[in-house]
Amino acid sequence: MKKGFKSIALLLVIMMFAALAAACSNDGGSSKVSVGIVLPTKDEPRWVQDETRFKDALKGTKYTTEILFSQGSSNKEKENVETLINKGIQVLIICPQDGAAAASAVEAAKDEGITVIAYDRLITGTDAVDYYVTFDSNDVGAKQAQYLVDNAKGSGEPLYLYAGAASDNNAFLFFEGAWKVLQPKIADGTFKIANSSEAEALKDKAELSRDEMAKIIGQVTTNWDANEAKNKAQTHLTAAAADMKGDVAILAPNDGTARSIADVFASDSAVTSYVVTGQDAEIASVQYVIDGKQSMTVFKDVRTLVKDAMGIAIAVLDGNTPETNGSYDNEKKEVQAKKTDVIVVNKDNVKKELIDSGYYKADQFKGL
């Protein structure tokens, strides 16, 4: 009897250990990643900024995350997604290198039951995108254009147009927003287009189709590449007649391209003055704004985008329905979206918006 009791107790203890061991091995714990984050490239400060803001936001949380960069390659991006799938992610936050090419990567994730959140750039032509967190990109373009309009000098001012990469859906949204504001001012003679025959041919149309925009973007794209932007600006200024110089307005799509375009225009002695736009509030461009070398930037508070993306991810992990405030058509579905407003920053409000707000520190800049 006593012996029988002992062996039952021993058996129970063994069973408890076995159960504990099994629980530990599949607890979704330390070796697993719950949220995977894929960003386009480390070569642009914009995305390194996003990485930093993600890391700040994740400090001290219980969520296990991993951030991978695709270095401008859709193949690398696909590999990154596969790596994260193998690590057991439940949510994928991804900013695609190329919005259409990323479809197959997110479809692979979706097939595994993973929730897909497009981050900043929409993924097009697939129903495998669940949510989209974004800035109001149309408004970014509109605000850049409005800045040029507000600072136009008289009439007949040469207008140089530049755009982002055609593989990025945002490039179309930025351009669309800008065109709506610029077109009436081209029509009324405030501006004359200096560097795009395609834009010139469409200058009487208030609203452009995607194909029409693609024609202009094809001509004035920077591909989001500072060097390409510089070469294009040089080519344009070399080809420009004297009446396309003097005081000029330049629609530059983002900070990286704005700085290199600005440098080219600054070095042309026939350009008396230029007003040039940007976006992202990159540290180097904030310094350019302070120094009067770049006229403005559009500040997109990445902290908010990160907070929104993680907010959706956590809601999903907790089995709740995420909050959204709009939707975007990605050619396959209306993707539920969380949209954030943007702020124009120039010399006058740079300190208030970027330093006093705690986004950057004063000692990161000279001459504030």
- Which listed range, 28-36, 54-62, 162-170, 307-315, lies at the site for ligand BGC (CB under 6 A)? 162-170
- Which listed range, 20-28, 164-172, 201-209, 263-271, lies at the site for ligand BGC (CB under 6 A)? 164-172
List, in order, residues 6 or more apart from 41 with CB less than 8 Å away.
47, 69, 70, 71, 72, 97
Is the separation of the CB atoms in 359 and 286 below 8 Å?
no
- Closest CB to ligand BGC among residues 118, 313: 118
State the nearest-atom distance from the C-beta of 101 to ligand BGC, in Å. 14
Question: What is the chain's Cα-based Rg?
Answer: 25
State the nearest-atom distance from the C-beta of 203 to ligand BGC, in Å. 26
DSSP string, 254-270: SHHHHHHHHHHHHT-TT
Q: Which of residues 244-263 bind ligand BGC (CB under 6 A)?
A: 254
Nearest to 309 by CA among 120, 80, 128: 120
Chosen residue from 120, 225, 301, 353 binding ligand BGC by CB under 6 A: 120
State the nearest-atom distance from the C-beta of 26 to ligand BGC, in Å. 39
Q: Which of residues 169-208 bind ligand BGC (CB under 6 A)?
A: 170
Q: Binding residues for ligand BGC, how many (CB under 6 A)?
A: 11
Please report, for residues 151, 172, 224, 307, 317, the alpha-carbon distance to residue 89 in angstroms, rounded to integers and kept in the order given.
49, 31, 30, 19, 10
> Residue 121 interacts with ligand BGC (CB under 6 A)?
yes
Amino acid identity, position 303: R
- Closest CB to ligand BGC among residues 98, 157: 98
Report which residue's Cβ sits closest to ligand BGC. Answer: 254
Amino acid identity, position 8: I
Chosen residue from 33, 37, 39, 44 binding ligand BGC by CB under 6 A: 44
Looking up tokens 């008396």 gives: 272
State the nearest-atom distance from the C-beta of 95 to ligand BGC, in Å. 8
Strands 326-329, 343-345: pairing kind: unpaired
Chosen residue from 33, 34, 35, 46 binding ligand BGC by CB under 6 A: 46
Interaction mask 280-309, ligand BGC, x per CB under 6 A: x-----------------------------
State the nearest-atom distance from the C-beta of 306 to ligand BGC, in Å. 14
> Residue 277 interacts with ligand BGC (CB under 6 A)?
no
Nearest to 172 by CA among 196, 132, 138: 138
State the nearest-atom distance from the C-beta of 168 to ligand BGC, in Å. 5
- Closest CB to ligand BGC among residues 47, 274: 47
The two structure tokens encoding residue 160: 């140089």
- Quick check: helix, strand or coil at residue 363? helix
- State the CB neighbour count (10 A cutoff) for residue 41: 17
- Closest CB to ligand BGC among residues 245, 259: 259
- Closest CB to ligand BGC among residues 340, 349: 340
Helices 74-86 and 103-111: crossing angle in degrees, nearest 10, is 10
- State the CB neighbour count (10 A cutoff) for residue 247: 16
Interaction mask 206-235, ligand BGC, x per CB under 6 A: ------------------x-----------
- Rounded Cα gap, residues 91 and 106, in angstroms: 11
Please report, for residues 82, 132, 272, the alpha-carbon distance to residue 313 in angstroms, rounded to integers and kept in the order given.
19, 11, 50
State the nearest-atom distance from the C-beta of 133 to ligand BGC, in Å. 12
Question: Can you give the binding site for ligand BGC, defined by CB under 6 A?
Answer: 44, 46, 120-121, 164, 168, 170, 224, 254, 279-280
